[in-house]
Structure 1
């Protein structure tokens, strides 16, 4: 008798150099393509032993689901958008890192959309971005997050979103609140504890809610100790290095200079450093400075900058996580809360006698 040749074993791996497909995973694991799809999308309708076996196989062969293909199969996208209008580059980079932390190994990818909220057509531009990409959800970053018309548009077209803002501005499941007012108050209390009373303030742009919150927190903390800043000691700037230079020139040009300056972010604080150096003003002996953000810049300046840390990377991570969780159990979500705190370095000391 002649023996029949056996058919190829179903466990044969994909050819060398060829990326595994969902069909390969189904064939090799002995389950249906539908079951593999359910495992990829974290469906609770799959037994644990089956899920463990298939996930182990996917790791072994290096299978990575295609977000666009998954979107077509499930009539929705596996893309998370990040919409921002913010002049501080490091803040946006840290926010992106945080979002990527959350999306890693989730099957979702991040796409970004910078915009100019002063442009009359910017909301239509965001709508086109969301609809063309068929986004699963959108993270709104200040200043865009502070625009109620933008949030209303996303709600109207049925797009999930989370808003990052200094105060609660929406339903709890859509909010990450950063409590900027509290951080600014801590900065004021620290300067007062050192004995400063002639203090100046460089605020962010009036159009930003964060600027209002930081200004209010700082002034309220001073007022609680009986100190009221004259208008000449408060200068509005634009959250940029260049605007910090201009504001510092206005504050430090007179004969009677403040002994301390609080700035609405670290970029503007760096501008104050430049003006002080040019004018021969010693930091911190003749001028104490506090920033806000605690960006990498704060520890790179000399002397190192005391600054309010607001955990930007954690904020981005939480906002992205809320979007992913939203698909399963939105009713269980509550507003996330990020509390800032002061990081004391070398840019402050008691005023000279």
Structure 2
């Protein structure tokens, strides 16, 4: 019969140090126990602020860093935060990663990423293997995998903490960042109608994305409130990619009467509309107004610059990472995401 080793309390097994000195040196200089130093290193809320500041000052002065291997053994996990995504927009993912790194910098945690295909039958098994192999401290779920209840149930079963980012709230506040996408789409509808546009086209993302359904419904319902009903021919499903934006715009711009404005549910597809308009000899905004969503760096680089709904993607990644590395019992504020339209040069009243 094999004997199971008893669980190790992290505070009972403080990490060793591989810089200038040891944890014993810091404890002796600070006049505290090794357990107290370990709690400061591991961001425990159970240390008085004055003591914490004193120990942190000594850590900087002596110049040592915790040994990550020893910390992992003590905690029976690695100091890694995972990011799982299935998103065709590369810039969106880059911005999300940069935000997560903003929060992790200096914390002792590192970020590892796991792209996946959520349409694959075994993708949840692949995420499970990733979580268990890396012994993740927690995982950031990016749309659209964040919308998958089966994936969340698996993470709960294996005991991995998570932070979900989605267009609406799908979970407890401590695990959820809701981006309120519908609000931004409503603002676009009101703006285009106020300019006098009556023939409007809409390029959506894939319908399996919650963001598509929220943004599209918000836009159409807001137009309806202002007395505008879009014909089915004026709503075309894209793939959140540049190429799909070109193809969808060509369909819309072949209609009679031609739309005087097109709203795309992300900026990549809006750039595709620019290309289609150029091919057809249409000038923006004189003959066609265009609005995107996300306000990615691309929006300001297009010519004329693109009006787009600003979604603070980098902040969203930062908030999610901060949720995961917060100490148990630590008070956490729920971030409020409020998308809003940034008006640039791509829109004007129809001629």
Kindly report structure 1 stretches of 4+ aligned residues shifted beyond 6 Å: none
List aligned pairs for 1:55-204, cutoff 5 A.
55-204=56-205
Task: Say which is worse superposed, 248-257 or 343-352, in terms of deviation.
Answer: 248-257
TM-score w.r.t. the length of structure 1 is 0.89
Matched, 1:284 2:275: no
Q: Distance in 1 between matches of 2:229 and 2:260?
A: 15
Matched, 1:336 2:344: no
Query: In the alignment, is the contact (CA less than 8 A) between 2:199 and 2:257 conserved in 1?
Result: no
Query: In the alignment, is the contact (CA less than 8 A) between 1:175 and 1:336 conserved in 2?
Result: no
Deviations 1:291-311 (A, max 9, x none): 000000000000000000011
| Structure with the greater alpha carbon radius of gyration | 1
- What stretches of structure 2 of length at least 5 have no aligned partner? 1-17
The match for 2:19 is: 19
The match for 1:262 is: 263
Structure 1 residues 328 and 25: CA distance shift in structure 2, 3 A:
farther
The match for 1:239 is: 240
Deviations 1:150-204 (A, max 9, x none): 0111111111111100011112221100011110110011000100010000000
The match for 2:314 is: 313
TM-score w.r.t. the length of structure 2 is 0.90
Query: In the alignment, is the contact (CA less than 8 A) between 2:155 and 2:162 conserved in 1?
Result: yes
Structure 1 residues 242 and 68: CA distance shift in structure 2, 3 A:
farther
Q: Distance in 1 between matches of 2:152 and 2:121?
A: 16
Deviations 1:257-308 (A, max 9, x none): 1000000100000000001011110100000000000000000000000000
The match for 2:9 is: none
The match for 1:350 is: 349
Query: In the alignment, is the contact (CA less than 8 A) between 2:45 and 2:327 conserved in 1?
Result: no
Query: In the alignment, is the contact (CA less than 8 A) between 2:206 and 2:240 conserved in 1?
Result: yes
> Alignment RMSD, CA only?
1.9
Query: In the alignment, is the contact (CA less than 8 A) between 1:269 and 1:291 conserved in 2?
Result: yes
Q: Distance in 2 between matches of 1:130 and 1:124?
A: 10
Shift of 1:255: 4.6
Q: Distance in 1 between matches of 2:69 and 2:208?
A: 37
Shift of 1:339: 0.8
- What stretches of structure 1 of length at least 5 have no aligned partner? 1-17
